[in-house]
A and B are shown apart, each in its own frame.
Chain A
Amino acid sequence: IVLTQSPGTLSLSPGERAILSCRASQTVPSSFLAWYQHKTGQTPRLLIYGVFRRATGIPDRFSGSGSGADFTLTISRLEPEDFAVYYCQQYGNSPVTFGPGTTVDV
């Protein structure tokens, strides 16, 4: 399954809402779709799994939605620490695949 993320870059300010899109080339089985935040020099951080389930310790300003082949990550109000690269990942079909990423910058 090929994942396409849009936009490639999202330029926003703290306090604004970010809406990131992830589109799959086919239906993601069992809604096995995850989102990660990645900052330079750090390891990727799991935000969302199973489309909408927040990982441990993830604040509720992060939410996931979608079904089938279209998924969205929403950050309700951007905090300064949220500026990073975000990847979607599907793990319902082998091989596991990641999207190319969306950069959220100021």
Chain B
Amino acid sequence: EVQLVESGGTVVRPGGSLRLSCVTSGFNFEDHGMSWVRQVPGRGLEWVSGINWNGNNLAYTDSVKGRFTISRDNGKNSLYLQMNNLRAEDTALYHCARGLTPARDNAFDFWGQGTLVTVSS
């Protein structure tokens, strides 16, 4: 059974940092690109960042460039998102999502339940 389990979300002050993790199981992690997708409660989906199968091709949405860093550890079947200089508008539920292919940009066939990040003073 494919599983993606996120962690690391919490309440943080503006300007603070967080590291989100996504531990996966039930599939060959190296066969898939991965992404982080966020959703503000009651609003739509926003793709945040993506990474290809071996981690050498990365992309970010404009609003997080220079502040967020995506990475993966294929030996640990895990995906990460380092979030620095957090802003109130980063408040959202952050989902880890599995890509259909090894490429960076993908449709996503499995999603984690998400971890909630709240940026507030």
A and B are interacting partners: yes
Assess whether A44 is interfacial by the CB under 8 Å rule: yes
Tell me whether B105 and A43 are in contact (CB under 8 A): no
B112 proximity list for chain A (CB < 8 A): 43
Contacts A94-B59, A95-B62; is A101 near B44 (CB within 8 Å)?
yes
B61 nearest in chain A by CB position: A95
B73 vs chain A, min Cβ distance (A): 22
- State in angstroms the CA–CA spacing of A32 and B35 once bound together: 16
Tell me whether B105 and A92 are in contact (CB under 8 A): yes
Tell me whether A38 and B45 are in contact (CB under 8 A): yes
Assess whether A34 is interfacial by the CB under 8 Å rule: yes
Residues 89-106 of chain A: 1 if any B CB is under 8 Å from the residue's CB, otherwise 0? 101101111111100000
The total of Cβ contacts below 8 Å across the A-B interface reads 56
Assess whether A87 is interfacial by the CB under 8 Å rule: yes
A45 vs chain B, min Cβ distance (A): 8
Tell me whether B105 and A94 are in contact (CB under 8 A): yes
A11 proximity list for chain B (CB < 8 A): none
Tell me whether B44 and A87 are in contact (CB under 8 A): yes
Count chain A residues whose beta carbon lies closer than 8 angstroms to a beta carbon of B: 23
A50 proximity list for chain B (CB < 8 A): 107
Tell me whether A98 and B109 are in contact (CB under 8 A): no
The residue from A32, A38, A46, A97 contacting B47, defined by CB atoms under 8 A apart? A97
| Interface residues in chain A, defined as those with a beta carbon under 8 Å from any beta carbon in chain B | 32, 34, 36, 38, 43-44, 46, 49-50, 55-56, 87, 89, 91-92, 94-101
7 example contacts (A-B, Cβ-Cβ < 8 A) are as follows A38-B45, A43-B114, A44-B108, A94-B105, A95-B59, A96-B106, A98-B44
Q: A46-B108, A89-B107 are in contact. List 15 more A-B contacts (CB 8 A).
A: A38-B45, A43-B111, A44-B45, A44-B95, A44-B108, A46-B107, A89-B47, A91-B106, A95-B59, A95-B60, A97-B47, A98-B44, A98-B45, A98-B47, A101-B44
